[in-house]
Amino acid sequence: MSGAERLTLALALAAITWLAGAPSARAGVTLFESDDASFTLGGYARELSGVQLPTIDGAGLPDALGLSQALLRLEWKLTLGQLATLELHDRFALTVTGSDAALAGGLGVGVTPAPKRTVDLRSVIVDDRGTAFEHDVDRLVLRLFLGRVDVALGRQAISWGTSNLFTVADAWAAFSPFDLDTSQKRGVDALRVGIPLSDTLELDLVVADRGSVEDLSGGARLTAYLGDADVYVALAKQWRELAVMGGVSFACDEVKLRGEVWWGAWDLARDEVLRPRATLGVDWFHGDLTLTVEAHYNGAGASRSEGYAALAVTSPEFARGEVFWLGRYYAGAGARYQLTEQLTLSVSVISNLADPSLLVATSLRYDIAQNVDLGIGAFDGIGAGGDLSAGRLDSELGAYGHLVYLDLSAWF
């Protein structure tokens, strides 16, 4: 075991040992409390370790690649009565891979792109030969509760949209579907204002920093809550794209139907109309079992596999994490079943319908204690690989190879 790997293990075990002694799951620790204010500390620690078997050539990767990431997130929160809260999150990440070459296909740990920020509060402590250790202030947000109006200013998590497997409208800061760590979204620097216009109508306004004046983004979303149905429409400038979004969801007993579309009405940089992205989905909730099925059209993708390699290095949407898929037509299904009070099984299958290729993700999680759980899982790409030195990906999802991992997590 290398020195970096020993340091990763030591940090994770120390954090988890301390967190396991917390009095209750995810309850936080109260550092100060009075009639008018309180100051609390919460957070989590995770140790993710795995072995990846790449299926593409020409990337300088060995036949088997070890990877490990220790995460420690400290969540500080100051509450000032009913008027305001101030949140600050410290994110420490130590990542070790068995190669300094890029991971094949971006599958593993830390593969979700961090949002671009004009004010960079990230400190890179180590970045050498496949080992990276960094600290980031990933939340720094002031929330004001002004009667019926809520205002949030600073680095925060923002979610739009209703899709699960194939996100469409979640463009502020989305999770990569190939990242093992989905505990917390990365923070985007923004001003967000929520205004209820009536008992059934809500307006959400966002202005977000993207790292430059040209990419300054903003949007307005209007949501109507109509009994069993929710409907939203939105207009936005995302980076240099003018976009229109809309979605609807309808719940009936144990079934929920969903649909949403994103259309780049105009690209200011390329001076062209963009193809839409759309997802249709259905969810079934039955006791301890949840099933999800979605169909997706990705207008930003390539129509044939011959265009995947070029798109992966030239697409601005792909580079900034706005989209994560290289093809056009997809279908997917997911299932989550709570076998016992402590044991949960999750399985999802993603299919690129044009290749064709599949990505199967399986995980089994066991609650060791009230605030500690252990997971084991795998990603399996099924389909042809490729040769990056020749600029060729024979299939999209088959190129991700295989990954088996362990995940030990603790919250407080």
pLDDT score of 70: 94
Bridge partners of 96? 68, 131
| Cα–Cα dist 217/214, whole Å | 9
Give residue for tokens 């509760």: 145
Residue 71 has a pLDDT of 94
In whole angstroms, give the CA distance from residue 106 to residue 108. Answer: 7
Give residue 19's pLDDT.
43
Cβ count within 10 A of residue 176? 17
- β-strand 37-53 against 241-252: which pairing, if any? unpaired
Which pLDDT belongs to residue 256?
98
Q: Model confidence over 27-38: pLDDT tens digits?
A: 589 999 999 999
Give the model's pLDDT for residue 58: 66
pLDDT tens digits for range 214-268: 999 999 999 999 999 999 999 999 999 999 999 999 999 999 999 999 998 888 8
pLDDT of residue 312: 87
Residues of the chain with pLDDT under 50: 1-25, 102-105
Sign, CA torsion 401/307/332/277: positive
Between CA 152 and CA 135 the distance in angstroms is 23
pTM above 0.85, yes or no: yes
Among positive and negative, which fits the CA dihedral 164, 165, 170, 172? positive
CA dist 378 and 122 (Å) reads 31
Token pair belonging to 81? 């009565």
Residue 44: per-residue pLDDT? 95
Q: Shortest CA distance to 181 belongs to which of 123, 110, 250, 132?
A: 110
Give how far Cα 329 sits from Cα of 204, 263, 322, Å.
Answer: 31, 16, 17
- The SS3 assignment for 395 reads coil
Give the chain's domains with CATH numbers.
3-411 (2.40.160.10)
CB-CB contact of 152 with 245 (8 Å): no
Q: Phi, psi (5° rounding) for residue 140?
A: -155, 85
Q: Report the pLDDT value the prediction gives residue 378, as an integer from 0 to 100.
A: 96
